[in-house]
């Protein structure tokens, strides 16, 4: 047991679920902020949820929202965290083109509101802060591999909002001496990944097509390349950043990049479906064929007004200073996600954080 108390915003998301489990395993008392929803939104953490009637719960959930400053101040005041992990965000890049103002409010100003809560409550010296920054900050390719010193060039309202959050975190560290760190995390996935992100969309479709429950997977840009790692390992890096003597900024990545097209091929192979791309991969209608039947099609609705073509990170600083290194290769990651989705679709149960 430890006397540390963590507050996690975004605890109901992919990373929040893995981080909550990690911190509970380390003996932390964990508080999480969840949004009010008309349907249940705690599926990823139901297995670690504790009855609120428990007189001494290790995990407590609070209703809240990053757009509501008074609510955030009250929660920080009541929970007196020694560490805040700000993982909450409107995290979908394409959706941010549809909801740019909301994305800025939650992702940019939400970060400011939390940092101000620390300051207003006089917790600058007692509460450490982690900001979920992103490889999307690099955007338009300036240099590869991307590292902490690579210039930023955001390519979406999401990335622009996260740029503000990055710099306000740096500024509060420098201005007020808050132990604040940015984790510049490259894409990380898992069986808990949201179903509209491309990896999970692909692995779910591969499983559904293999089981005869779906005909076609519609995708956008197949040529985009991402540096994909495993979420379970990336939350360990977040924790390590917060344990350092000083706040700082670190890239977490695998150092390997893979195209969406390659991810599709691996996922379909793991689901037992052979894919045959025609020509450049799509015909004049934008359709791809596999095994004689239409399996994968390109739908321009998934193209983004501005795209991030290539991400490949250099995690050298994290390796050297934190001793952090990824363990799961992208090929293993695909296999794990397809296996989990095949089990899910065959009625083998959902994927909990331990999955
Ligand atoms: P998810 O989309 O899975 O989770 C986002 C979380 O934020 C959910 O709990 C969501 O709640 C919550 N949330 C969204 N808007 C608000 C709001 N206004 N107020 C309070 N809570 C809110 O994201 P991930 O777990 O994948 O990512 C975690 C963080 O890391 C995000 O900030 C993301 O931008 C960032 N990031 C992610 C990377 C990745 O590859 N996964 C890479 C780099 C950065 P609900 O469940 O109700 O929707
Ligand atoms: P990304 O992840 O934008 O990198 O942001 P996403 O999985 O949404 O897209 C990755 C790439 O795949 C292309 N793509 C598609 N994407 C989606 N979602 N759906 C499709 O049908 C599709 N077809 C092709 C995209 O154009 C893109 O190039 C994620 C999020 O988790 C962010 O919050 C995080 O900051 C970054 O990763 C790092």
Residues 160, 216, single domain; the answer is: no
Residue 153 appears among annotated catalytic residues: no
pLDDT band at 142 (very low <50, low <70, confident <90, very high): confident
Residues 154, 179, single domain; the answer is: yes
- Ligand 2, from 154, 202, 226, 262: best to mutate by most atoms within 8 Å of Cβ? 226
Residues 219, 282, single domain; the answer is: yes
Q: Is the pLDDT confidence value at 303 over 90?
A: yes
Residues 273, 172, single domain; the answer is: no
Query: What would the mean pLDDT of 262-285 be, rounded to a whole number?
Result: 77
Q: Is the pLDDT confidence value at 86 over 90?
A: yes
Q: Is the pLDDT confidence value at 354 over 50?
A: no
Residue 307 tokens read as 């795209």
pTM for the full predicted model:
0.96
Cα distance between residue 249 and residue 137, in whole Å: 13
Beta bridge partners of 139: none
255: left (phi over 0), alpha (psi -120 to 50) or beta: left
Residues 83, 129, single domain; the answer is: yes
Number of domain units in the chain: 2
16 lines ligand 1 (CB under 6 A): yes
CATH number for the domain spanning 85: value is: 3.40.50.720
Residues 321, 186, single domain; the answer is: yes
2 or 133, greater pLDDT: 133
Nearest ligand for residue 188 CA: 1
Q: Is the pLDDT confidence value at 22 over 90?
A: yes
What range does the domain containing 266 cover?
A: 198-223+259-308+336-345
Cα distance between residue 91 and residue 87, in whole Å: 9
- Which is nearest to 270 in space by CA: 332, 223, 182? 332
CA–CA distances in Å: residue 307 to residues 25, 155, 300, 345? 39, 7, 13, 32
How much distance in Å is there from the Cα of 93 to the middle of ligand 2?
A: 7
Q: Could you report the per-residue pLDDT of 200-250, keeping only the tens digit for each?
A: 999 999 999 999 999 889 999 999 999 999 999 999 999 999 999 999 999
- Asked, for residue 320, whether it belongs to a domain, the answer is yes
Residues 122, 216, single domain; the answer is: no
- Asked, for residue 352, whether it belongs to a domain, the answer is no
Cβ(134)–Cβ(92) under 8 Å? no
Query: What would the mean pLDDT of 176-199 be, rounded to a whole number?
Result: 98
Query: What would the mean pLDDT of 142-162 be, rounded to a whole number?
Result: 97
Residues 119, 249, single domain; the answer is: yes
- Asked, for residue 355, whether it belongs to a domain, the answer is no
Cβ(231)–Cβ(188) under 8 Å? yes
Residue 166 appears among annotated catalytic residues: no
Nearest ligand for residue 10 CA: 1
* Atom number, ligand 2, closest to the C-alpha of residue 93: 3
Looking at residue 278, its pLDDT comes to: 55
* Atom number, ligand 2, closest to the C-alpha of residue 134: 35
* Atom number, ligand 1, closest to the C-alpha of residue 186: 42
CA–CA distances in Å: residue 262 to residues 81, 157, 225, 258, 302? 43, 27, 9, 7, 18
Residue 147 tokens read as 């590292």
- Ligand 1, from 72, 87, 109: best to mutate by most atoms within 8 Å of Cβ? 87
User: Does residue 52 sit in helix, strand or coil?
Assistant: coil
- Asked, for residue 79, whether it belongs to a domain, the answer is yes
Cα distance between residue 78 and residue 88, in whole Å: 19
Comparing 18-27, 42-51, 133-142, 276-285, which segment has the lowest mean pLDDT? 276-285
Q: Are strands 229-230 and 188-189 parallel, antiparallel or unpaired?
A: parallel
- Asked, for residue 56, whether it belongs to a domain, the answer is yes
Q: Closest residue (by CA) to atom 33 of ligand 2? A: 91
CATH number for the domain spanning 205: value is: 3.90.25.10
pLDDT band at 279 (very low <50, low <70, confident <90, very high): very low
Mean pLDDT of the residues in the chain: 93
- Asked, for residue 354, whether it belongs to a domain, the answer is no
Residues 231, 302, single domain; the answer is: no
Residue 158 appears among annotated catalytic residues: yes
- Asked, for residue 135, whether it belongs to a domain, the answer is yes
Q: Which position among 5, 82, 103, 134 bears the catalytic label? A: 134
How much distance in Å is there from the Cα of 50 to the middle of ligand 2?
A: 33
The neighbour count for residue 51, using CB atoms within 10 Å, is 6
Residues 28, 151, single domain; the answer is: yes
Percent of the chain with pLDDT over 90: 85
Residues 153, 177, single domain; the answer is: yes
How much distance in Å is there from the Cα of 89 to the middle of ligand 1?
A: 4
- Asked, for residue 100, whether it belongs to a domain, the answer is yes
Residues 155, 134, single domain; the answer is: yes
224 lines ligand 2 (CB under 6 A): yes
């Amino acid at each position: 047991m430890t006397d540390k108390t963590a507050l996690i915003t975004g605890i109901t998301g992919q990373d929040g679920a893995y981080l909550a489990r990690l911190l509970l395993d380390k003996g932390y008392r964990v508080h999480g902020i969840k949004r009010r929803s008309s349907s249940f939104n705690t599926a990823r953490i139901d297995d670690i949820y504790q009855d609120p009637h428990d007189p001494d719960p290790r995990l407590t959930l609070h209703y809240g929202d990053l757009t509501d400053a008074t609510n955030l101040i009250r929660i920080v005041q009541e929970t007196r965290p020694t560490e805040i992990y700000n993982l909450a965000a409107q995290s979908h890049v394409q959706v941010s083109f549809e909801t740019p103002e909301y994305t800025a409010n939650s992702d940019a100003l939400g970060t400011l509101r939390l940092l101000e809560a620390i300051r207003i409550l006089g917790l600058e010296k007692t509460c450490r802060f982690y900001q979920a920054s992103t490889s999307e900050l690099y955007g338009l390719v300036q240099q590869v591999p991307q590292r902490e010193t690579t210039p930023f060039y955001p390519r979406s309202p999401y990335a622009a909002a996260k740029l503000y959050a990055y710099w306000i975190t740096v500024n509060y560290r420098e201005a007020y001496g808050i132990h604040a760190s940015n984790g510049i995390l490259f894409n990380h996935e898992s069986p808990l990944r949201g179903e509209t992100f491309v990896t999970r969309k692909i692995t779910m479709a591969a499983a559904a097509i293999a089981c005869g429950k779906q005909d076609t997977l519609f995708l956008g840009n197949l040529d985009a390349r991402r540096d994909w790692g495993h979420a379970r390992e990336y939350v360990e890096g977040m924790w390590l950043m917060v344990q350092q003597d000083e706040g700082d900024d670190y890239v977490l990545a695998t150092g390997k990049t893979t195209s969406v097209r390659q991810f599709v091929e691996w996922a379909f192979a793991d689901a037992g479906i052979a894919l045959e791309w025609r020509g450049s991969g799509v015909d004049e209608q934008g359709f791809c064929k596999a095994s004689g039947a239409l399996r994968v099609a390109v739908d321009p609705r998934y193209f983004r007004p501005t795209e991030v073509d290539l991400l490949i990170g250099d995690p050298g600083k994290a390796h050297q200073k934190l001793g952090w290194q990824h363990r799961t290769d992208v090929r293993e990651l695909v296999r794990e996600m397809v296996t989990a989705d095949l089990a899910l679709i065959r009625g083998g149960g959902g994927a909990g954080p331990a999955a």
